Structure 1
Amino acid sequence: MSKFAGKHFAILGAGRSGLGAARLARLHGAEVTVMDEGAPEKIKSALDKQHAEGFRTLSGQAAKDLVVNPGDYDLVILSPGLDAGWPFPKKFTDAGVPLTGEMEFAFNLTDMELVGITGTNGKSTCTELIAHLFNACGKKSVPCGNHGMSLSEVVSSGVPYDVLSLEISSFQLETIQNYRAKASLWLNFAPDHLDRYPGMEEYYAAKARIFENVTGQDVAIVRAGETVDTGKAKKMTFSAYGAEADWTYQGGRIHAHPDGVVFDVKSTLRGRHNMENVMAAMMACQVHGLSLKDMRAALNGYEAPAHRCELVRVLNGREFINDSKATNLHALEACIGAMERPIVLIVGGKEKGLDYTPLRASLNGQVRAMVCIGEIAGALKATFQDLLPCQTAVDMADAVQQAAQISKPGDSIILSPGTSSFDMYTGYAQRGEAFRSAVQSLN
């Protein structure tokens, strides 16, 4: 008999995570209704996908007006973009309906091994690199979770992966109960998502739950100097910035200290922050049985992911670099610190409640001009115009034109926004493509 036969589940959020959860719930016999408060005309594409697979949906005002009575639903499954404390999910929990997150729901329905990756920055790069290393070394893997396919999509597909490379956001960790992994990665922690959390302590506490259920047989891989409780797991550390650690990086070489192994890094990944991603990824894969020799070979020819310190073009002696994935201050600072040329910086986007004044100390004279875009363009200009030339632009094409005009041969013109893109774009990828297109249009 199917696990959830005769059960009725409400799935909140009609996007990719919601669709994956709907598929997985139906696969196990549940009747599902997918609900989203978004206006139907604004989420038409998502609703069309749900309808194409035969799922019942409730959207817009109909979802907002829904009255939930005790016994109406057996479970409510939350997409990670929604907060369990918001009024819509609370309709269900106030009526006594158990709530779980999409990732937790999928975790409880699979026995596939996985590596869990969290951190404020570098998660996607590290997640992709781990999957690449596994696949290149003979273990079938896929990057998923908060990056690429949702965990529910992967589990419902029926594909038997050897190890999953699972990027996990703080939002997904808010609703875990049983989740754990053999190798858990804590890449870094910095201010972010203060539009979602009351303060840093709440954001930190959500992320730290990645270690909540670990056992003595598990491994916690943590950036040296980070203060986080790793529970019962064996702790291993890495650093590319001179700190004492189990793995370190210096002068283009990685030192794997417990094994006494030293090797050159041959990869298209740029900057020390990416060398930390390489070390963390290799340490996680080693926990799952991959050899250093095989992983070194797999790193050769690895292409850096799009929108992450990605070289788009060299024109008139200027590098144009797309770092649209830098959606917070820490990522922006990491990008600046990884570069060797003078920088003309394109920065700005959605107002997320972040304080940009700490960036003043990170410019180091290397950023010699700024072009500010988006909701926070005016505020950024006011923050930095006493330090260096600052201009505002109406859109990406205008920003690229202005940056090109004020730059000099030998400069790097970098889109590294330091905030989210949703004021102007559907996500960082669309923003990065707009930058690419504007750069390619330059004469």
Structure 2
Amino acid sequence: MPKFTGKHFAILGAGRSGLGAARLARLHGAEVTVVDEGEPQKIKAALDKQHAEGFRTLSGQAARDLVVKPGDFDLVITSPGLDANWPLPKKFTDVGIPLTGEMEFAFNLTDLPLVGITGTNGKSTCTELIAHLFNACGKKSVPCGNHGMSLSEVVASGVSYDVLSLEISSFQLETIQNYRAKASLWLNFAADHLDRYPDMQSYYAAKARIFENVTASDVAIVRAGETVDTGAAQRLTFSAYGAEADWTYSAGCIQVGPENVTFEVNSTLRGRHNMENVMAAMMACQVHGLSLEEMQAALAGYEAPAHRCELVRELHGREYINDSKATNLHALEACIGAMERPIVLIVGGKDKQLDYTPLRDSLKGQVRAMVCIGEIAQALKTTFEDLVPCQTAADMAEAVQLATELSRAGDSIILSPGTSSFDMYTGYAQRGEAFRTAVQSLT
């Protein structure tokens, strides 16, 4: 008999995580009601998918008016975007209905091995890279969790994988109880999501729960210098910024301390921050049995994610890098700090009333010149022209041409806007494609 026959579960959130949880719950015999406070016309696509698979839904005002009594439901499963302390989840927990998160629900219904990845920046790149390394080396894997398919979708699909590459957000970690992984990655930590958390300590505490249930047979892979408590797990460290660590990167090479092995990195990924992603990914795959030799060959075949420090072209000794996904100041600073060559920076876009003056320290000694675009172009030029040569451009083609003229052989010409794209483009992807087209048009 299925595990949940006769049970009635509420799924909060009609999106991808909610649909995966609904499928998985029904697969195990539960009756399901999907509840989402979004207005029906605004979440029509998600509701249509739920209805197509025969799930009962409550949305908009009907969801807000829902009165929950003890015994109405046996379990409430939340999507990551919902805080358990918000009014909708509390309708259930206030009358004694137990709550779990979608990821935790799926974890308890599978025995598939997995690697868990968290951090403020770099999670998606690292998650994709881990799945690529496993697949290229003969172990079937898929990127999932907070990136790609939800864990519930993967488990409900019934497809057998050797190892899952699971990106985990702080929101997903808020509701874990049993979750643990043989290899858990902590990539970095920086301020973020303070619209969800009352302070940095709360955000940090949520992310640190990735190590809450680890045992002495597990491995914690942590960026050197991070103070996070990794519990009983064996702790391994990595650094591309000169810190002492088990794995280090310098001048194009990775050194593996315990094995005393050094190898040159052959990858389209650019920047020291991405070299940290490479080391963390390889360390996790090594925990699951892959050798350094086979991973080096697999790494060479990895295509960097579009618009994230993506190498577009090398021409006349210059490399052109598309980091259009850098839509905030923190991402822009991370890009600048990660590069090993002098930079000519293409920056700007929509005016989000951001204060760019903190960027001044990052520019010194690293950025040779700037080309400013978009609504905020003139303001950026005014802010930085006393530090570095600054020009403004009317469009991306002109920006790339000017950046090339300002550069020298050995430089990196980087589109890393530091703000959103909606003044000129439909999104960061279209902006990145415009940069790629302009670069490919150079002769």
- What is the TM-score normalised by the length of structure 2? 0.88
Residue in structure 2 matched with residue 305 of structure 1 by the alignment: 305
- Deviation of residue 246 (structure 1)? 0.6
SS of match in other structure, 1:263: strand
In 1, Cα distance between equivalents of 2:114 and 2:415:
33
Residue in structure 1 matched with residue 110 of structure 2 by the alignment: 110
Q: Aligned AA for 1:280?
A: A
Residue in structure 2 matched with residue 343 of structure 1 by the alignment: 344
Aligned pair in 2 of structure 1 residues 73, 229: CA closer, same or farther (>3 Å)?
A: same
In 2, Cα distance between equivalents of 1:378 and 1:206:
40
1:4-53 CA distances to partner (integer Å, 9 max, x unpaired)? 11111111111111111111111011111112222222222111111111
In 2, Cα distance between equivalents of 1:315 and 1:136:
30
In 2, Cα distance between equivalents of 1:424 and 1:91:
43
Q: Aligned AA for 2:430?
A: E
SS of match in other structure, 1:258: coil
* Segment drifting more, 202-211 vs 34-43: 34-43
Residue in structure 2 matched with residue 149 of structure 1 by the alignment: 149
* Segment drifting more, 1-10 vs 59-68: 59-68
Matched, 1:431 2:432: no
1:138-173 CA distances to partner (integer Å, 9 max, x unpaired)? 211111111111100100000110110101111111
SS of match in other structure, 1:277: helix
SS of match in other structure, 1:154: helix
Aligned pair in 2 of structure 1 residues 301, 214: CA closer, same or farther (>3 Å)?
A: same
1:88-145 CA distances to partner (integer Å, 9 max, x unpaired)? 2222222222111111110010001100011111111111111111111121111111
Structure 1, unaligned runs of 5 or more: none
User: Is residue 221–residue 237 contact of structure 1 (8 Å, CA) maintained in 2?
Assistant: yes
Matched, 1:369 2:366: no
User: Is residue 130–residue 282 contact of structure 2 (8 Å, CA) maintained in 1?
Assistant: yes
* Segment drifting more, 145-154 vs 78-87: 78-87
Aligned pair in 2 of structure 1 residues 379, 234: CA closer, same or farther (>3 Å)?
A: farther
SS of match in other structure, 1:61: helix
In 2, Cα distance between equivalents of 1:198 and 1:129:
33
In 2, Cα distance between equivalents of 1:379 and 1:39:
39
1:390-424 CA distances to partner (integer Å, 9 max, x unpaired)? 8999xxxx663673475342546644354678999
Residue in structure 1 matched with residue 91 of structure 2 by the alignment: 91
Aligned pair in 2 of structure 1 residues 81, 378: CA closer, same or farther (>3 Å)?
A: farther
Aligned pair in 2 of structure 1 residues 76, 380: CA closer, same or farther (>3 Å)?
A: farther
* Segment drifting more, 55-64 vs 208-217: 55-64
User: Is residue 392–residue 399 contact of structure 2 (8 Å, CA) maintained in 1?
Assistant: no
In 2, Cα distance between equivalents of 1:312 and 1:183:
33
Q: Aligned AA for 1:118?
A: T
Aligned pair in 2 of structure 1 residues 341, 389: CA closer, same or farther (>3 Å)?
A: closer
SS of match in other structure, 1:69: coil
- What is the TM-score normalised by the length of structure 1? 0.88
Aligned pair in 2 of structure 1 residues 224, 102: CA closer, same or farther (>3 Å)?
A: same
Residue in structure 1 matched with residue 403 of structure 2 by the alignment: 407
- Deviation of residue 61 (structure 1)? 2.0
Residue in structure 2 matched with residue 241 of structure 1 by the alignment: 241
1:3-402 alignment, distance < 5 Å: 3-312=3-312, 321-326=321-326, 328-339=328-339, 340-347=341-348, 357-364=357-364, 366=367, 368-369=369-370, 371=372, 400=396
1:286-326 CA distances to partner (integer Å, 9 max, x unpaired)? 11111111111211222111121123467999865332443
- Deviation of residue 284 (structure 1)? 0.7
In 2, Cα distance between equivalents of 1:279 and 1:248:
8
In 1, Cα distance between equivalents of 2:66 and 2:125:
40
Aligned pair in 2 of structure 1 residues 267, 315: CA closer, same or farther (>3 Å)?
A: closer
- Deviation of residue 327 (structure 1)? 5.1
Q: Aligned AA for 2:140?
A: K
Q: Aligned AA for 2:222?
A: V
In 2, Cα distance between equivalents of 1:141 and 1:385:
48
Q: Aligned AA for 2:331?
A: A
Aligned pair in 2 of structure 1 residues 267, 313: CA closer, same or farther (>3 Å)?
A: closer
In 1, Cα distance between equivalents of 2:259 and 2:312:
38
SS of match in other structure, 1:245: coil
1:227-264 CA distances to partner (integer Å, 9 max, x unpaired)? 11000101011111111111111221111110111111
User: Is residue 185–residue 220 contact of structure 1 (8 Å, CA) maintained in 2?
Assistant: yes
Structure 2, unaligned runs of 5 or more: none
In 2, Cα distance between equivalents of 1:113 and 1:29:
24
Q: Aligned AA for 1:67?
A: V
SS of match in other structure, 2:258: helix
Q: Aligned AA for 1:91?
A: K
- Calculate percent identity across the aligned residue pairs: 77
Aligned pair in 2 of structure 1 residues 45, 415: CA closer, same or farther (>3 Å)?
A: farther
Q: Aligned AA for 1:431?
A: Y
- Deviation of residue 337 (structure 1)? 2.5
- Deviation of residue 386 (structure 1)? 6.7
User: Is residue 349–residue 377 contact of structure 1 (8 Å, CA) maintained in 2?
Assistant: no
- Deviation of residue 220 (structure 1)? 0.4
User: Is residue 221–residue 284 contact of structure 1 (8 Å, CA) maintained in 2?
Assistant: yes
Q: Which of 420, 437, 440 is residue 440 of structure 1 equivalent to?
A: 437
Q: Aligned AA for 2:200?
A: M
In 1, Cα distance between equivalents of 2:117 and 2:191:
18
- Deviation of residue 328 (structure 1)? 4.9
User: Is residue 342–residue 410 contact of structure 1 (8 Å, CA) maintained in 2?
Assistant: no
User: Is residue 309–residue 322 contact of structure 1 (8 Å, CA) maintained in 2?
Assistant: yes
In 2, Cα distance between equivalents of 1:67 and 1:404:
58
1:58-86 CA distances to partner (integer Å, 9 max, x unpaired)? 22222222222222211111111121112
Aligned pair in 2 of structure 1 residues 413, 258: CA closer, same or farther (>3 Å)?
A: closer
- Deviation of residue 266 (structure 1)? 1.0
In 2, Cα distance between equivalents of 1:337 and 1:322:
16
Aligned pair in 2 of structure 1 residues 319, 257: CA closer, same or farther (>3 Å)?
A: closer
- Deviation of residue 350 (structure 1)? 9.6
In 2, Cα distance between equivalents of 1:316 and 1:250:
24
